[in-house]
A and B are shown apart, each in its own frame.
Chain A
């Protein structure tokens, strides 16, 4: 009897709670209703949410231009209701540079994975950052080529198994992983270079602040900004999303430590 009464109270309570004035968190308005094509638990979705939230909070929805890459993020333009350009593989920073120079009042950012940014687009990325183009590069680093089926990327860790290095990455055959963010921090043109992650609530909040800071720097004309997000690829790594987060903390963070590498504002 008492159980039944409790249940009834809870049902009434739920209806009383779900009201617009009690809203704590909802899908960002700039994120549309199209279902994302990403695998379950993919970090891309969280970063898309953060970008949508930051652009909305800055009031730049009408003035933001995103450059989507080739890779899993290729359809980013389908999910966030801002202007987008689609770049050839690796050429997103070059296109972003053109957009920013033609429309200096626009918030221009690229959204690239590690295969796009650290492999085929290394030249464009380094020269764009070195020129100090007032853009933001969002770099999703999951140490693997996700879209094409989990092949070895330039950022793949030593000893990490992928479909093209099934015995683990070896220096004698495959060389060493590239730390693009450390390279970017050495360049004179960069204003803000940081490495973040999105595996916990605290990390997501920090990543959001980093993206906001980078966007504000680019609008203030301080130089180029690089926000690396160390991410998971549960399909490519062949793990559950929760296990992939644990693996990332254990194996990725020692090699790709989280934190700001350069911030000209804090000097």
Chain B
């Protein structure tokens, strides 16, 4: 059975850690860093669960356009 698999790339320097992508993610893939910050001092979003389905919800709600989304079908 083919499976949809997605991946995200977060522009960590651009991210302001607003958490909106974490709230929008339907698979709870994203989380903010807890012990790391970017050059502006903000925690940033990252893929922690590896359960991305490439729905792009996180990227659409991101106010700073930090997230690039890729999606593919795996047979």
**Real binding pair:** yes
* Contact in complex: B63, A27 (CB < 8 Å): no
* Contact in complex: A18, B56 (CB < 8 Å): no
Contacts of B71 in A (CB 8 A): 17, 22, 24
Contact of A41 among B19, B66, B74 (CB under 8 A): B19
* Contact in complex: A242, B20 (CB < 8 Å): yes
Cα(A61)–Cα(B64), bound, Å: 20
Tell whether A177 is near chain B: CB-to-CB under 8 Å: no
Tell whether A78 is near chain B: CB-to-CB under 8 Å: no
* Contact in complex: B67, A25 (CB < 8 Å): yes
Cα(A234)–Cα(B72), bound, Å: 36
Distance in Å: Cβ of A152 to nearest Cβ of chain B: 24
Tell whether A220 is near chain B: CB-to-CB under 8 Å: no
Q: Can you list, as one digit per residue, whether each of A25-42 has a CB less than 8 Å from chain B (1) or not (0)?
A: 111100100011011111
Interface hub of B59, B63, B70 (most chain A Cβ within 10 A): B63
Cα(A17)–Cα(B53), bound, Å: 11
Tell whether A134 is near chain B: CB-to-CB under 8 Å: no
* Contact in complex: B19, A46 (CB < 8 Å): no
Contacts of B40 in A (CB 8 A): 35
Tell whether A43 is near chain B: CB-to-CB under 8 Å: yes
Contacts of A201 in B (CB 8 A): 24, 57, 60-61
Query: What is the total of A-B residue contacts with beta carbons within 8 Å?
Result: 97
Interface size class of A (residues with CB under 8 A): 35 or more
Contacts of B50 in A (CB 8 A): 10
A17-B7, A24-B70 in contact; A36/B64 too (CB < 8 A)? yes
* Contact in complex: A24, B6 (CB < 8 Å): yes
User: Can you give 8 contacting A-B residue pairs, CB < 8 Å?
Assistant: A17-B7, A17-B72, A18-B70, A22-B72, A24-B71, A39-B16, A41-B20, A201-B61
Enumerate chain B interface residues (CB-CB to A < 8 A): 5-7, 9, 11, 13-14, 16-20, 23-24, 40, 42, 50, 54, 56-57, 59-72, 74
18 other A-B residue contacts (CB within 8 Å) besides A200-B61, A242-B20: A13-B7, A17-B5, A18-B9, A22-B70, A25-B56, A25-B67, A28-B65, A36-B63, A38-B64, A40-B16, A41-B16, A45-B62, A45-B64, A201-B57, A201-B60, A234-B18, A240-B19, A242-B23
